Amino acid sequence: MREIISQISEYVWGVWRFRWISLAAVWMVAIVGWVVVALTPEQYLASARVHVDTNTVLRPLLRGLAVQPDVDERIALMSKTMLSRPNLEKLMRMADLDLAVRNEEQKEKVMDDLKKSISLSGDRRNASLYTVTFKNEDREVAKKVVESMLTVFVESALGDKRKDSSGAQDFLNKQIADYEQRLTEAEARLSDFKQRNSGLLPSEMDDYYKRLEFEREQLASAELQLKAVKNRRDELQRQIEGEEPVFLSSQIEFSPQVVAIDKRITAMQNNLDSLLLRYTDLHPSVIQIKDMLGDLEKEKSAAIAAIKRSAPDQYASLNDNPVYQQMRSMLSETEASEAELSTRAQEYKLRVQSLEDKINQIPLLESEHQQLTRDYDVISRQHQTLLSRRESARISGNVEQAADDVTFRIIDPPFAPLKPNEPNKLLMNVIVLVGAIGTGLGIGLLMSLLKPVVSTRATLNKITGFPVLGSVQLIRSPLERRQQLVNTMVFACVALSLVVLFVGISVFQGMDMQLANLVTKMEVLV
């Protein structure tokens, strides 16, 4: 701690050694700074306060029926976009700032100055309060710009509101027309699909399986009837056209020749059965008996043929036999029934085959039907939503036309003081004085560092490295002490005169500002 205090003391002593240089620097910087402050152009700060009321009576009444815009957010966004190029151009025209514009370069400069000088800020404690300020060297221009800003602010709020409502309805109308066309196309696709796949739709699957089961039953019944008719036809055919007609069977079967051969065949068959019980089919005795049975069968056939040839008149008389004619008629009817049943069975078979082929298509048809139905439902739902929103937008538009959802009330009308109030020259003078003193101290310290001297024993010990046994104090003569005192008094007077000069400048500017504020208040009251 002692080292720090000692170091500070050395710095202070160093600055004091070059106090006149430091004081000269302070005077120079202060004079230059105050001159610059005095020459700084003064500006008039015009301002106004407006209250934006977004709470209306209709808002809670129309909740759920009309679109409720976030008015607070819209106002906040609008306040941020107030300094857009179109608004700046409008302000320039309304404040007649464009009269002095001769080219695009001047126009850009005027717009840049407007953008830098305009301020639109909200109140932190009350978000509905907005303060509009503008500073300019011309008092009337400053006031006129603030008035124009209020006008633009209100017009932008009301104009954007109507524009948004109209734009929303136009957009909804276009979307509804587009969805109506898409809905018509979806309905046509779904209707065409239902017509092409009637009976196979998911809602008709029970009917489909019932139809398939019914057709299968009909096919089985038709095939069974056809089989019975075919058996009947074969029997009639065998009876009519067979080798042993039933009308001559009794004469042929009981003829002596046939009876004798049958007895031999029976005996031979019995003998064969007994041999097969002891031997296999390859035994010579078994083979011999089988050959003999074959010969007997041939002999029997020959005998029957001989008997038939010996009785041609009996066969010729069959055509005149009523029973034979009835059997021929029954055969014809049976053949007709067979053809009819065959056609019916073929038709049922084709139906069953067609229905069975569609079984594999049912999952694909279900998937396609679900997709078409889903597309139709989605489009229909969106169409209904758009219709509802258009109606809400229409009601909102009517509400906006009938009642304002935003009310602007000017709390403080635009005003500008009679005397310039920008910049704050008193504060600037203080800053100049502080800066000048800091500059003087810095220069004195720098000079002491550039031209160092040994002022303490500790410093001497640190520089030489030798121990310091003692020190001798300088004893000034009375004349030197008087000169030093005079020198110090002169320095104090010069420094004090700088302070007096600062106080004089501040008092003069303060009186000027108080007078300007008093006149401004009187103007506002009037």
| pLDDT score of 275 more than 50 | yes
If DSSP states are collapsed to H, E and C, what string results for 43-90? EEEEEEEEEEECCCCHHHHCECCECCCCHHHHHHHHHHCCCCHHHHHH
| pLDDT score of 5 more than 50 | yes
Other beta carbons less than 10 A from residue 460's beta carbon: 15
Range of the domain at 71: 45-200+365-418
Mean pLDDT of 296-306: 79
Per-residue pLDDT, 434: 93
Q: Domain check: are 28 and 77 in the same one?
A: no
Q: Domain check: are 498 and 390 in the same one?
A: no
Q: Domain check: are 13 and 128 in the same one?
A: no
- List, for residues 177-208, the tens digit of each pLDDT value: 888 888 888 888 878 877 776 655 555 545 66
Cβ proximity of 47 and 121 under 8 Å: no
- List, for residues 360-380, the tens digit of each pLDDT value: 666 666 677 778 888 888 888
| Structural domain includes residue 356 | no
Contact partners, residue 145, CB within 8 Å, separation at least 6: 46, 91, 95, 97, 114, 118, 134, 136
pTM (2 d.p.) = 0.42
Chain center to CA of 62: 28
| Structural domain includes residue 212 | no
Helix count (H) and strand count (E) of the chain? 17, 4
Q: Domain check: are 187 and 156 in the same one?
A: yes
Q: Domain check: are 516 and 385 in the same one?
A: no
pLDDT band at 400 (very low <50, low <70, confident <90, very high): low
Q: Which two tokens stand for residue 191?
A: 């209707």
Residue 231, φ and ψ in degrees, nearest 5: -65, -40
Question: For the ranges 59-63, 259-263, 353-357, 507-511, which has the lowest average pLDDT?
Answer: 59-63
Q: Domain check: are 434 and 371 in the same one?
A: no
Q: Domain check: are 67 and 150 in the same one?
A: yes
Q: Domain check: are 489 and 405 in the same one?
A: no
pLDDT band at 496 (very low <50, low <70, confident <90, very high): very high
Mean pLDDT of 65-87: 57
Per-residue pLDDT, 210: 72
Q: Domain check: are 386 and 523 in the same one?
A: no
pLDDT band at 89 (very low <50, low <70, confident <90, very high): confident
Cβ proximity of 141 and 147 under 8 Å: no
DSSP characters over 181-198: HHHHHHHHHHHHHHHHTT
Contact partners, residue 42, CB within 8 Å, separation at least 6: 137, 420, 422, 423
Per-residue pLDDT, 207: 61
| pLDDT score of 428 more than 50 | yes
Q: Domain check: are 72 and 91 in the same one?
A: yes
Q: Which CATH number goes with the domain that contains 130?
A: 3.30.1890.10
Q: Domain check: are 437 and 407 in the same one?
A: no
Burial 292-328 (b: 16+ CB within 10 A, else e): ebeebeebbeebbeeebeeeeeeeeebeeeeebeebe
Cβ proximity of 420 and 43 under 8 Å: yes
Other beta carbons less than 10 A from residue 202's beta carbon: 12
Of the candidates 502, 504, 508, 506, the one whose C-alpha atom is nearest the C-alpha of residue 433 is: 502
- List, for residues 116-149, the tens digit of each pLDDT value: 888 777 666 766 777 888 888 888 888 888 888 8
- Cα separation, 262 vs 53, in Å, equals 130
Task: Round the average pLDDT of the chain to a whole number and report it.
Answer: 74
Number of domains in the chain: 2
| pLDDT score of 407 more than 50 | yes
